[in-house]
Structures are given as structure tokens and as C-alpha cells.
Structure 1
Amino acid sequence: MCMKIACVGGGPANLYFSILMKRQDPSCDITVHERNPAGSTYGWGVTYWAGLLDKLRENDPESAAAVSENSVRWSDGVAHVRDVRTVHRGDDGFGIGRRRMLDLLAGRAESLGVRLEFERDIAADRIPDADLVVAGDGVNSALRERHARHFGTDVRLGRNRYIWLGTTQVFDTFTFSFQETDHGWIWAYAYGFSGEQSTCVVECSPETWTGLGLDRAGEADGLALLEKLFADILDGHPLIGRDRADGAAQWLNFRTLTNRTWSRGNLVLIGDAAHTTHYSIGAGTTLALEDAISLAGALRDRTELRPALARYERERKAELLRLQSAARLSAQWYENLPRYIHLPPRQMFALLGQRHSPLLPYVPPQLYYRLDRAAGQLEVLRRFKRWLGPRLARTAQTRALASRR
């Protein structure tokens, strides 16, 4: 299906989509428009799991090899609760610098003949003339917002506050630290993404955020306080924020974004422009790349644009259901941390690993822990959990909808 394609936004989704389309049909005329200068990006490292590498190898072995060679790997999780350290054995996870990943994908795209235009901000009322326009311009997508009513865009803010930081401390495990203050609990998740740096995400309730004065502190003072609170895992290394001219700290509420439909004419949404999932499940980059795979596959097998875009949307929405549910439950687990934090650390960490379960919010934590341990040995209890969890979740959803009427 040869066509002229304009990709707005130079993130992982659009770069990988352009790679796949050029592999399918080298005659496609593809331009990626990125508003920022080459080599600049926000964020630190991103995470992914082994299943993504398998998909990348299947679709483009060259970029898969480059991503794999530039990633770090871990298999254990470590939780520090006050002064107690607990280790949990888990599946292999991977980290790679966001900038490094973008550089690798951009280089691969250019080698296939994709044009990359940096410092090119595409206005929503001046969309490039193309057969297909792919809006990969992020959660604040200007292209989507111009037609927000058509797309049925819905944004819901999480309760907790969080900040995305880097550090020169290199973690060889996925590390959690939960610290109690006079104003409540504050916690960090940290993971390595290179031999020199790691990502460190700090989160807390709004009451803790204001009680500690983080709502009023500039970035330098805020980082100094956080370095003291998480001295147990930082081991003397500094936290690094994003450079901002006004010196303000970038504390945010997570925005869960969904859209009723993902296309309008020849305009289609991809990545965070189409959907977001809470950072605590570490799936954002994976979902963006899977969007690219699905969209390219739909275009490969269809001769007309509209049914191809409909197929892409149908496939991705179906595949996203489970992860979006897991992300909501994960965010809620942290928002209800006091329910779990006073358990013995090993039990608390085990329930942290079970935070995606729709059953967990409705069962007393210690009872759930015992049931989960027993379910690992008895098939009948595993079946009971699978049967009861979705029913409780649907009941809660029905009650929530009724309460809004």
C-alpha cells in the first residue's frame, strides 16, 4: 500500500512505525516531524520486558539487536520499608535510556530512507499534505485536541503527586524505598538504564506533598530533601531533575487518557496521543511500539485506508483492556498504601506484586496473602480467584457509574 505518510512527533511509536512501513514498502514517502532539536528528549530511562524484544526481533531484527545491546537487565526486585530490606525473585526486566532508544530508532529509520525533520512544530490547523497523518505527539497532542469531541477524549487525574528524576546511583535491581515521615509515607521506584545512571520516580499523597513543603520548594531544595529521605538507596549519589529556566520542580498528577475513537479521516492516533497507562506498570514504551506494529500490519494487509485504521483501532483496544485495567489497579494500590504498608515487609512486598489483581481491593490484605499462597498450590483456588475477581470489579464499576447519575 504505497503512500505518502506524515508522522507528527518523533517518539518511539512514530519512529518504529516509519521503520516498519519502509521495510514493507521502500517506495513509501515518509517524513517524521519533531518539534524539538535532534538529541533532546524528556525523561530518563524506560523499562520493558523480554516479550517486547521477541516482537522487535520478529518485525525488524536490526533495531531489536541495537536496542538489546544498549539495554541493561535485572531479574530481582528489592523493597526497603523503613530499615527492612526484602528481596523478591522475578522475571527479567530491561532498562534503556530514552534518548539512546530514540537515537537508535532514528538512525535505523534514516538508513531506510525516512526523512527526519527536527525543530518542526506542526500546528493543528496546518497538518501536512499526506495520504496518512500519524499523530504521535504525546499526551498533549495538538492534532487530537483540535478534534477532541470527535475523538471522545477523556482525561482523568490520579490523586497522588509524582516527579520523574535521574540519579548517578546505578541500580542492578528494580528497587523500591518506602519512607515514613511526620506527614505520611513517600516512596520511590528506581531502576538502572545504563552503566552510569538510573531513573528514580518519587510519589506521595497530596497531603504528604504539602506537609513536607514540596509544593512550595524550588527544585534544588526539593531534591535536597528527597536525597535525605532516600539516603538508604542513593548511597550518597545525587538526584537529578530536569533543567528548567524558572527553577521549578516538575511534580505532576498522572493523567490517564482514553479516546472513544482513534481516527478521523486520514488522521490516526498512536502512542500516548491515543492512550496512557500508569507508569507503575512500566508499559508506556512497550505499548507505543506495539501500536506501531499493529498499525503497520493493518496497512500491509489492506488496500483501503479506512478499514485498515478501523482494524488497527479494534486490535489495539482489545489488547489494551487488560493492561489498562492493571494500570488502574496499580495506581489505586499506591493511592491506598496505608492499607498495606503496616503488614510485615515480606507480605507487603508480595501484595505489591499482586497489585494488578481486581480481587485484592475487596479482600483483607492478610487474608488475601494467605489465599494467594494457597492458590499457588491448589488449582481450585486459582480458578476461584480468576472467577471472582472480574465479577467484583464489574460490580464496583456499576456502583461507581450509578453514583454519578
Structure 2
Amino acid sequence: MRIACVGAGPGGLFFAVLATRIPGVTDVTVFERAAEGAPRGWGVVFWPDLVAQVEAVDPPFAESLREFRYTWHDQVVELDGSDVRFTASGYAMGRHLMQKLLVDRAREVGVRVEFERPIGRAADLEGYDLVVAADGVRSVLRDQASAIRTEVVEGRNRYIWLGTEKQFSSFSFPFVKSPAGWLWAHAYAFGEAGSTFIVETTEETWRALGLDTLGPDETLRLLESTFAEQLDGHKLVLQEEARGTAPWRRFATVRNSAWTDGTLALVGDAAHTTHFSVGSGTRLALEDAIALARHLEQAPTLAEALAGYGRERAEALEVTARQARSSAAWFEAVPRYVERPARDFARLLVERRRFVARRTPGLYLALHRLTTVPVLGAAINRTLAVTRTVLPRVVGPLRRRFAG
């Protein structure tokens, strides 16, 4: 079997590494349109459970993740001069570094990685038995697949992906009130080189501040002034590929009716996206790669392998996708919550994936306060646990059944 992977992101590269071990695979090639070493943005976050999953299938890459990870500690919500801290920890790594580690690993196991090789049509890959589309949100190969119906839903908020040399050793959410409304950032260090600094705001505030008309330099200066206290004099930086623009976007949630079509399989952002506020993009892409390789190794035919892969990943994604939608919706409704006391607001933010916290914040906060009462607390926590675990297992299958 000859396999082509289009896109040298985490999903495509890691699948290529795993595919070299599948019996009968004779050739694995990764095609990437960008040049080797081209800028890849800022950082990505991941968690200890992902390292454990990688360890189970490829110990050398897991060791690289452990060696080069940056560990951040705690989540900090800043509002009105108050810092509310919650215990948490996770890992981060520069996108460029992660790609380099994966490219080195792929070449080590015999994968051919060809940079500056754009693939515009599936016909360009004639002769390959399997094509893996790992070419991102705007996947060209996916959009040419007749059996895959793609829905792209844009959120209401505006955001811009920036970097800074300041190290945010905690995952920080600073909220700042401007004359036109609230702006906030999702900030975390990914190593000694600096931090990711994503600025988000509502459409109304974005327009009222004139950010819809400002050029890149003016945009950076305005945001540096807005977040001056948090940045401690450090500059904000655009990604090099911005090419003279201030790339404000609405987050695009990608959903597909199927993950495969014939001998084409989707992984990573080509198959799904989840809002950046849940930090799951890299994890999901690597999990896609692991699942696809496992199905190819275990199933008797390619068709059965791809069918099993699509079913498994679509089901596995349900919980994360639902949480991501809830998280994105919470940030779109920040003006609804932000006038609350800082500690209450911070509590709602860290619990934003819960239905009760998002839709009925007053009720959630009242329940949370009652959890400090020993007898009541135990009962309430059991009830909340049911809403988080049992209900999704019941509602998900019913939704799929009636949707079908």
C-alpha cells in the first residue's frame, strides 16, 4: 500500500510515522505546500493524557514531548484589578518546534517529507492507495470529495492570534474595559521564546474601536496600550504570514457529514475544529492519527478500516465538540457576565463548558456556594456529575438516531 499525506501538521506527520509500521505499507509520503522551517504561528497546548497516548504507540516522540514541553501552572482570571487563581497545569510547545520534532521522527522511520509541494487536486495523487487530507480548515481535498458534506459555522466574536516575548507562566485570561467595551486575551507561554496572546472581543466593540479599519501597526499599538499592564512593556507581534494585514477572524467551526470518501480520509482541522478556548486542536489531530493507523492495521480491508475510523472518531469527538461550542458561546456572552464580582465571574469562566454555568449563571453560583455545606455539597456534586456524564451519553445517541 502506498500512502500520501497532504499537510505537515501534527495529524498528518504523526499518522505518517505510525503508518510505516502497518503491514503491507511500502511507501509513505507527506506533501506540504510551505517551505521547510516556515513560520508556524505561536504555541499549542496539550495535556499529560495526550503524552500517555503517544507513549503507547510511539515512545520516541513521547520522549521528545516530555523533553521539550513547557509546563504552565494555574489559570488566572484578571478583572478590575483582581487576580483570581485556579489550580491547573498543562503543557505547551511552539508550533514550529513540534513540527520539527515530527519531521525528524518521520524521516527517521523512512517517511519521505516533501516541502513546497502544494497539492491542488486529488488527481495529483494518482497511484496512491490511501490519501490522508491533513490540509487544515480550508482543506482543498475535502472540498473536492463528493461524499463529504461540510458545514462551516462562524462565531460572532472577533479574534486575532498574536505573540509576545513576555512569558505568561500561568494560563491567563486578562479582561480589560476600553471606552468601547471589553477586550480579553487568552495568553500562555510556550517556552523561553515567549507566549501566545490571542485577543478576542465582540463584533460591536471591535467596530466601535475602529479595529475593522486599522492597519497592522495601528492595531498592535492600540492593543499594546489596552493590555499595557499585562504586557509589562513587551510588544505584540503578528505572524509573518499576515503579510501586512491585521488578520482579525471569526472562529470557523468545521463539521463534516463523513470523515472519509473512497480512499480519502480526513484528520485534524480538515475533519473538525474546536474553539481555541478549549485547547484541543493538537490533541484531537494526534488522536485522529492514532485511531486511523490502528484501524488500518486491524481491519481486513481498507474500506472497513476507513468506515470504522470515521465512526469511532465522530463519536469520540461529540463530548469535546459540545464543550467547545459551550465555551465559545460563553465568550460571546461576556457582557452578560462581566459585571459580576471578580470571583464569581472567574468561577463562571472556568466552568463555562457546563450547561448550567453558561445558561443560568445565577443558579450555578448559588449551587456552587451550597457545595461548601458538607451534606448538601455531596448531594449537589453527585447531581452535577450526572449532568456532566450520564446525560450526554443519553442525549448523544438520541440526537444521532433522530437526525438520521
Look up the match of 2:10.
Answer: 12
Conservation of the 8 A alpha-carbon contact between 1:5 and 1:29: yes
**One of 352, 367, 371 as aligned partner of 1:371:** 367
- CA-based RMSD of the aligned residues comes to 2.1
Conservation of the 8 A alpha-carbon contact between 1:159 and 1:253: yes
Look up the match of 1:104.
Answer: 101
Q: Give the alignment of 1:6-405 within 5 angstroms.
A: 6-25=4-23, 28-90=26-88, 92-128=89-125, 129-147=127-145, 149-244=146-241, 247-363=244-360, 365-375=361-371, 378-387=377-386, 390=391
Q: Distance in 2 between matches of 1:108 and 1:125?
A: 26
Deviates more, 1:341-350 or 1:284-293: 341-350
Deviates more, 1:287-296 or 1:371-380: 371-380
Q: Distance in 2 between matches of 1:154 and 1:115?
A: 33
Please tell me the residue identity of whatever aligns with 1:195.
Answer: E
Q: SS in structure 1 opposite 2:383?
A: helix
Cα pair distance change 1:59/1:375, threshold 3 Å: farther
Q: Distance in 2 between matches of 1:346 and 1:153?
A: 40
Using the TM superposition, give the Cα deviation of residue 79 of structure 1 relative to its aligned residue in structure 2, in angstroms: 1.6
Using the TM superposition, give the Cα deviation of residue 354 of structure 1 relative to its aligned residue in structure 2, in angstroms: 0.5
Q: Distance in 2 between matches of 1:124 and 1:183?
A: 46
Mark the runs of 5 or more structure 1 residues left unpaired by the alignment. none
Please tell me the residue identity of whatever aligns with 1:325.
Answer: R
Q: Distance in 1 between matches of 2:166 and 2:133?
A: 36
Q: Distance in 2 between matches of 1:352 and 1:372?
A: 13
Q: Distance in 2 between matches of 1:245 and 1:109?
A: 29
Q: What do residues 350-393 of structure 1 show as CA deviations (whole Å, max 9, x unaligned)?
A: 11111000222332x233123124347533223333455759x9
Please tell me the residue identity of whatever aligns with 1:368.
Answer: Y
Q: SS in structure 2 opposite 1:13?
A: helix
Q: Distance in 2 between matches of 1:158 and 1:13?
A: 25
Q: Distance in 1 between matches of 2:43 and 2:214?
A: 25
Please tell me the residue identity of whatever aligns with 1:187.
Answer: W
Using the TM superposition, give the Cα deviation of residue 84 of structure 1 relative to its aligned residue in structure 2, in angstroms: 1.7
Please tell me the residue identity of whatever aligns with 2:155.
Answer: G
Please tell me the residue identity of whatever aligns with 1:55.
Answer: Q
Q: Distance in 2 between matches of 1:82 and 1:226?
A: 18
Deviates more, 1:133-142 or 1:244-253: 244-253
Q: SS in structure 2 opposite 1:324?
A: helix
Q: Distance in 1 between matches of 2:242 and 2:274?
A: 29
Cα pair distance change 1:100/1:245, threshold 3 Å: closer
Q: Distance in 2 between matches of 1:369 and 1:336?
A: 17
Q: Distance in 1 between matches of 2:370 and 2:358?
A: 18
Q: What do residues 107-162 of structure 1 show as CA deviations (whole Å, max 9, x unaligned)?
A: 00000000001100111252312110000100100001112x52111010000000
Q: Distance in 1 between matches of 2:48 and 2:241?
A: 35
Conservation of the 8 A alpha-carbon contact between 1:359 and 1:385: no
Conservation of the 8 A alpha-carbon contact between 2:173 and 2:186: yes
Cα pair distance change 1:372/1:268, threshold 3 Å: same
Q: Distance in 1 between matches of 2:169 and 2:242?
A: 33
Cα pair distance change 1:26/1:108, threshold 3 Å: farther
Please tell me the residue identity of whatever aligns with 1:285.
Answer: T
Conservation of the 8 A alpha-carbon contact between 2:80 and 2:342: no
Conservation of the 8 A alpha-carbon contact between 2:71 and 2:90: yes
Deviates more, 1:238-247 or 1:130-139: 238-247
Q: SS in structure 1 opposite 2:20?
A: helix
Q: Distance in 1 between matches of 2:246 and 2:49?
A: 35
Q: TM-score, length-normalised on structure 2?
A: 0.92
Conservation of the 8 A alpha-carbon contact between 2:348 and 2:358: no
Conservation of the 8 A alpha-carbon contact between 1:263 and 1:309: yes
Q: Distance in 2 between matches of 1:120 and 1:369?
A: 53
Q: Distance in 2 between matches of 1:7 and 1:246?
A: 27
**How many residues are treated as equivalent by the alignment?**
392
Conservation of the 8 A alpha-carbon contact between 2:22 and 2:296: no
